Amino acid sequence: MRIRRILSVLPAVVLTAFSFVSPASAADRTPSVVTWVKEADGAYKYLVNGREQVFIGMGYDAIYRYLPGEERAANYRRDFQILREAGVNTITGWDADKGYEQDKFDELTLNIADEYGIGVVMPLNLPPEGDYTDRDFVEDLKAQARAKVARFKDHPALRMWGVGNEVYWEMDPDMYPAFSQAYLEIADLFHQLDPNHPVIYREAEDIYVPLIADSLRESGDMRPWLLYGMNVYNKDLTEILSRWPDYGLDRPVFVSEFGAEGETAEDRALGYLEMWKAIRAFPEFVMGGAPYVWTTEGPEPTDKIWGLTDANSAPVDGTFAALSEAWLSELLASR
């Protein structure tokens, strides 16, 4: 496996960052603190527990919720070791998406992620078909938010709250105003209950950024803790990302999903690699990205197209190794 060959030539100081770390007891775990800062030169930095970090993510779509606890834990350990050795430091996920139930990130997911030094973006599903003019519906979502924050806010593996994914993209435009108002209410609730972790909204490219920016300005509060993640497929990321400063939101951006198909396996690997290079071409305001998606065995039919590994977490082609080499080379250069 190519990733093993890469690891074999890395110095011990770098390998230490990817090694297995024995988990602390629940009583000894210190809650994480995640934020961003703007430097004097205008560049942004993403900070995890006070240390700058490039967000090297993975859209994690494995479905293990039906497995017995020990088997589920073993699968997590297999996957998270592979991810950590490849340089990944964060997994992202979904409660539900495109009408498909995803896996449920819970204490077991977080605990084992923490063993491997991997952070988690915890999702809250906001149904695009929902009636956001219905106060009972919105209050139910806020109740879900309260329960999720109370349950997970103090876990050391928590990085951000992934509140909503491509909701505008799938929603009837007539619902935009009501959703925008409800979204700010829900995001505010997360921030009030847990100011130590940002909220991130993930959406198709930058199509709806003007709508979000207008909503923030009209509210009178720009909410700098509310971050944005772009989901981009088969497009020139350089062109899209270069527009970010023009929106005037004065905060960094993340590429929360990215993928390239390609006519051949080699083309696909090159496409993903070029997208990662585009992400790193704007280090002053793009904090990193997460390829979509980990396994071909996820719940969505398109996961067969986008998955980087098979049912046994073995790479389906050279894409994962190409990304791993880029990630590890960057980490080595930063030492």
* Distance, CA of 171 to CA of 173 (rounded, Å): 6
> Across residues 195-220, what is the average pLDDT?
98
- Residue 152 pLDDT level (bands cut at 50, 70, 90): very high
Res 19 pLDDT > 90: no
**Amino acid 98: pLDDT:** 84
Beta bridge partners of 59: 92
- The pLDDT confidence band at residue 13, using thresholds 50, 70 and 90, is very low
On the question of pLDDT at 25 being above 60, the answer is: no
Q: pLDDT tens digits, residue range 211-268?
A: 999 999 999 999 999 999 999 999 999 999 999 999 999 999 999 999 999 999 999 9
Tell me, yes or no, whether 322 lies in a domain. Answer: yes
Total domains, the chain? 1
278, two tokens: 């585009």
Mean of the per-residue pLDDT values of the chain: 92
Q: Which residues of 109-125 are buried (b: 16+ CB within 10 A; e: fewer)?
A: bbbbbbbbbbbbbbbbb
Helix (H) or strand (E) holding 75: helix 69-86
Is the pLDDT at 139 greater than 50, yes or no? yes
Task: Tell me how far apart the alpha carbons of residues 132 and 181 are, in angstroms, rounded to a whole number.
Answer: 9
Asked whether residue 24 is domain-assigned, the answer is: no
Q: Is 117 domain-assigned?
A: yes
| Residue 70 domain boundaries | 2-18+32-333
Q: Is residue 97 part of a domain?
A: yes
Quick check: is 23 in a domain?
no
Residue 226, C-beta contacts closer than 8 angstroms, at least 6 positions apart: 187, 191, 198, 199, 200, 201, 216, 251
What are the structure tokens assigned to 211, written together? 């709508």
- With a cut of 90, say whether residue 20 has pLDDT above it: no
* 277 in any annotated domain: yes
Cis previous bond, 293, omega within 30? yes
The values of phi and psi at residue 162, to 5°, are -90, 85
What's 106's domain CATH number? Answer: 3.20.20.80
pLDDT at position 17 is: 42
Measured CA to CA, the distance from residue 308 to residue 18 in angstroms comes to 20
74 belongs to a structural domain: yes
pLDDT of residue 300: 95
pLDDT digits (tens, 9 = 90+) for 164-178: 999 999 999 999 999
Task: Enter the pTM of the model.
Answer: 0.92
| Per-residue pLDDT tens digits for 222-238 | 999 999 999 999 999 99
Question: Does residue 25 lie within any of the structural domains?
Answer: no
